[in-house]
A = this chain, B = another copy of it.
Amino acid sequence: MTAVTEAPAPMDPASIRAAVGELLHTFLDERERAAVEIPELAVFTGLLRDLLDAGGKRIRPVLCVVGWQTIRDDPPPSAVLRVAASIELFHACALIHDDIMDRSDTRRGRPTAHRVLAARHADHPDPANLGTNAAILFGDLALGWSYDLLHLHTAQDLTPEQRAVAWPLLNALRTETLVGQYLDLTATGRPTADTGSAWRIIRYKTARYTIEHPLCLGAALAGANLVQLRALSAYALPLGEAFQLRDDLLGVFGDPGRTGKSDLDDLREAKHTVLVATALQRATPGEARTLQALLGHGALDEDGARTIREILIATGAVSAVERAVHERHEQALHALTGSRLAPGAIARLRRLAESVTTRNT
């Protein structure tokens, strides 16, 4: 007589975050031990530890594990958790290099890597420049290590089939993200009414990188078939778009006390978002002139920001974006219907979609 075993409860996001954090620590410990003859490496492992511990949401590793759980009931093996962790190391590089590009002073409430490195070399003739340059190298290290975590510590525990699906997905994840950042760079500082290019930035910089690729990666590692992967993509892409649209709204209308980020930065940088492009499309000539005059001013104050917010509302851009969030949420749910995924998995993905689109932090 076969015992009826109940499927174990899936890992919740907090346990996934903790497990991934532990794997990253183990990896950094090993790097530190390997580097005894190069004491300078401890500078970088220490900085990386600080960044990884500073309380990021680890949304990509979480989604990778959620992808696994969508297909299989058994808990993800440690090799799959290491693949998830490697995305977080890649993300560390993206953050380090992003902060250089944006000249940001803080990240997750702490000084950014280039500022820490500049402070470390305060006696240098040009510490700010040295800090930036050292942080370029630091990001390169994190990027290289994201691959090393995979290929030195993980590859041998994956099957050839798993490797064959995972490597191209990870390659697409990285390449598309970098292109998305390039699109964002070239558009920031000169917003236009071109919503098409704003949608392309969202697709590559966020929707695929943050939601679609991690989710599909986990599912593919779990052996998802093509129909299932297509359904997950069809769910994840609009959800990722909704995620970024919500982020854009929070960046201008959010409560800095809850979001942890200023509600002026996006406006001061003149980010080319769907929100702003839509407003420019619908604005009267006078409103458009006001927007163009105020957006991108580094010294934009609360009064100026209020004027921008009023125009974003008056033009109907805010409600158009809210509507787009809602539509994409619906599209995501629709993709789950007839997806041949297990009912439990569908229920979890529905809850995830709800939390992504309605979040206020």
Chain A residues in contact with chain B, CB under 8 A?
35, 38, 40-41, 43-44, 93, 97, 100-101, 121, 124-126, 130, 133-134, 136-137, 139-141, 143-145, 147-148, 150-152, 155-156, 160, 163, 167-168, 171, 174-176, 178-179, 181-183, 185-186, 189-190, 204, 296
Contacts and interface: CB of A to CB of B under 8 A. Distances in A.
A186 to B, nearest CB: 6
Given A101-B136, A144-B143, A144-B174, A168 B182 contact: no
Nearest to A126: B189
Copies of this subunit: 2
A124 B183 contact: no
Contacts of A125: 189-190, 296
A182 B101 contact: no
A178 B138 CA distance: 8
23 contacts: A38-B176, A38-B179, A40-B179, A40-B183, A100-B136, A121-B186, A124-B190, A125-B296, A126-B189, A130-B186, A137-B178, A137-B181, A139-B140, A140-B178, A144-B174, A144-B175, A147-B151, A148-B167, A148-B171, A151-B151, A152-B167, A155-B155, A155-B163
Contact of A186 (B134, B168, B171, B185): B134
Nearest 3 CB-CB pairings of A with B = A101-B133, A147-B147, A144-B174
A38 B204 CA distance: 9
Contacts of A100: 133, 136
Contacts of A189: 124-126
Nearest to A296: B125
A304 B35 CA distance: 41
* A contacts with B: majority SS: helix
Contacts of A185: 130, 133-134, 137
Contacts of A143: 140, 143-144
Nearest to A160: B156
Given A151-B167, A174-B144, A137 B190 contact: no
A291 to B, nearest CB: 16
A175 B97 contact: no
Nearest to A100: B136
A269 B180 CA distance: 35
Contact of A97 (B124, B140, B156, B181): B140
A156 B182 CA distance: 32
